Structure formats: structure tokens, C-alpha cells
């Protein structure tokens, strides 16, 4: 049986690959975009901005009016800031949290009554490896993803009686538009910024890791399997072996040791155990 799926952020990356594959599999797919983009065959585009509550309401209302239900919500859309805690512009911090966390919360709240009314559903929240460990010079991206983690754990227990499942996906580095999008929201390296040199060094490593990441088609295939699963897991970590190892090491090692390892990877000088 085909499912009615609402997925956010289908203009590029994970969202685009996933929406296209879900449509090929015969599902009824509604994908949200903030602005016009190339159409995806079999995907119905909806205009929605996660920072605009009314646009969220309109998008959900349109799906319900046409289909009568929403079986799966994939909270995929988000944004990336980059820079030190001290010098990242406050407006970028607010935009990061409004887009990657609050927008997801507001959309979920609009969809939940629909799922309860139809006897259940599935909510898939796209987090990140950065939601399991704080990433230097991506502090507010990590903060937003940490918030997604806590929100998802609490939500899962609350909606269990209504047959609504909550799944979290933690991708590692994939070859998407992340680097380019982050470049639009970087802390300005102006004047006597004490972090400028280290920030540029670490950013080059971050972007190299992303450029060498996996094909987003891998995540899309996994997402389709999760949607069609009768008993999905609470969490799926989809990443390279070394990133999966990092998740395990964070749980096993003393905090100082793990911070030294992670800091060293990002070329942070003066990192101590």
C-alpha cells in the first residue's frame, strides 16, 4: 500500500534524492521548498518556510485536503552556520535554531493531530553525527541537532499510545550542498578576531570531509526501507566506519580524551587531554 509522505527540503541533497526515490517506489510524496526549483517527477512541491508558521499550516492543510491523511513526516530541511561561539552573528544563531529546531517542532505539532486522527503514522527526524557530539566551529548546528535528539526522545514516549513511531537518523558526511550553504552563514573574520586562523584551518578540514563524503543516494535508499518497515529502530547512524567508531568512543572514553581526539582531527592547536 502506498503511503502519503510529507518531506521537507527537497530542492537538493538528502531531501531531493529521498523524495525522488520514494515517488519511484509508488508513494504519494509531497516535498517542501522555500523557492522555485527544478521539478521532481512524481513529487508534488509545496511552498513552505520553516521560519513562517502560517506557511507551515498552509502546507499541512493542503496535503490533508488532497489526501485526507499524512502517513509519514520526514523532518529533513535545515541550515548550517559556521564560526566560533563568540563571534558568530546573533542573527545567524537565531536563524539556525528557528530553522533546524523550532520549524521542525511547529511542523510536527501541525501533523500530529492528523496522524492521531487516522490511527497512527511515522515521524522521521534527520539529526546528525553532530547531534551526538559537539563539533568545533559548528556549535549552533550541533546545538540545534542536540535539541532534535532530546525532542525526539520525549516525543516518542508521548505519542506511543497513538501508534505514532518516532525515528531519528544520524547521517555522517555526505556529498551534498552543506559546504556551499554554510558559506552563506559564516562568522566574519574581521579585525583582530582571535579565532580567525584556527577557524579557517578547521573549516578547510570540515569541507574536505564533506567533499569526500558518501553519496546521498545511500541515505535515500535507507530512508525508503525505514518507511516501509513494520518495526523500525529508534535510531539509525548512517556514516563511514570511522564516524561510527567516534560515536562509540564518545560513550566509552573519558571526556577529556575524546575531546583531545576530536580536536586533533580538526587541527585545533593547544588541545589538551
Task: Pick the catalytic residue from 141, 152, 239, 259.
Answer: 141
Catalytic, 177? Answer: no
Task: Pick the catalytic residue from 127, 142, 239, 259.
Answer: 127
Catalytic, 127? Answer: yes
Catalytic, 225? Answer: no
Task: Pick the catalytic residue from 142, 145, 259, 266.
Answer: 145
Task: Pick the catalytic residue from 3, 11, 30, 239.
Answer: 11
Catalytic, 145? Answer: yes
Q: What Cα–Cα distance (Å) separates residue 131 from each residue in 63, 202, 216, 217, 247?
A: 30, 19, 19, 21, 10
Q: What Cα–Cα distance (Å) separates residue 250 from each residue in 138, 197, 241, 269?
A: 18, 27, 14, 20
Name the residues annotated as catalytic: 11, 127, 141, 145
Amino acid at each position: 500500500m502506498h503511503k502519503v509522505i510529507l518531506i521537507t527540503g527537497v530542492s537538493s541533497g538528502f531531501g531531493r534524492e529521498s523524495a525522488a526515490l520514494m515517488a519511484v517506489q509508488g508513494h504519494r510524496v509531497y516535498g517542501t521548498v522555500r523557492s522555485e526549483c527544478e521539478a521532481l517527477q512524481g513529487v508534488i512541491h509545496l511552498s513552505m518556510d520553516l521560519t513562517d508558521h502560517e506557511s507551515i499550516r498552509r502546507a499541512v492543510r493542503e496535503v490533508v485536503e488532497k489526501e485526507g491523511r499524512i502517513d509519514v513526516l520526514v523532518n529533513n530541511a535545515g541550515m548550517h552556520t559556521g564560526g566560533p561561539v563568540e563571534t558568530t552573528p546573533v542573527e545567524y544563531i537565531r536563524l539556525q535554531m528557528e530553522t533546524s529546531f523550532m520549524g521542525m517542532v511547529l511542523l510536527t505539532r501541525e501533523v500530529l493531530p492528523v496522524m492521531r486522527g487516522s490511527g497512527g503514522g511515522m515521524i522521521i527526524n534527520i539529526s546528525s553525527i553532530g547531534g551526538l557530539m559537539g563539533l568545533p566551529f559548528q556549535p549552533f548546528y550541533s546545538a540545534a541537532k542536540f535539541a532534535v535528539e532530546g525532542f525526539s526522545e520525549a516525543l516518542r514516549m508521548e505519542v506511543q499510545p497513538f501508534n505514532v513511531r518516532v525515528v531519528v537518523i544520524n547521517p555522517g558526511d555526505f556529498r551534498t550542498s552543506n559546504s556551499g550553504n554554510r558559506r552563506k552563514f559564516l562568522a566574519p573574520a574581521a579585525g583582530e578576531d582571535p579565532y580567525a586562523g584556527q577557524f579557517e584551518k578547521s573549516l578547510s578540514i570540515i569541507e574536505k570531509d564533506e567533499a569526500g563524503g558518501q553519496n546521498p543516494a545511500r541515505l535515500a535508499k535507507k530512508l525508503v526501507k525505514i518507511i516501509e518497515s513494520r518495526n523500525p529502530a529508534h535510531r539509525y547512524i548512517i556514516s563511514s566506519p570511522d564516524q561510527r567508531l567516534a560515536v562509540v568512543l564518545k560513550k566509552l572514553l573519558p571526556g577529556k580524551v575524546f575531546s583531545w581526539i576530536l580536536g586533533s582531527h580538526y587541527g585545533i592547536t593547544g588541545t589538551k587531554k
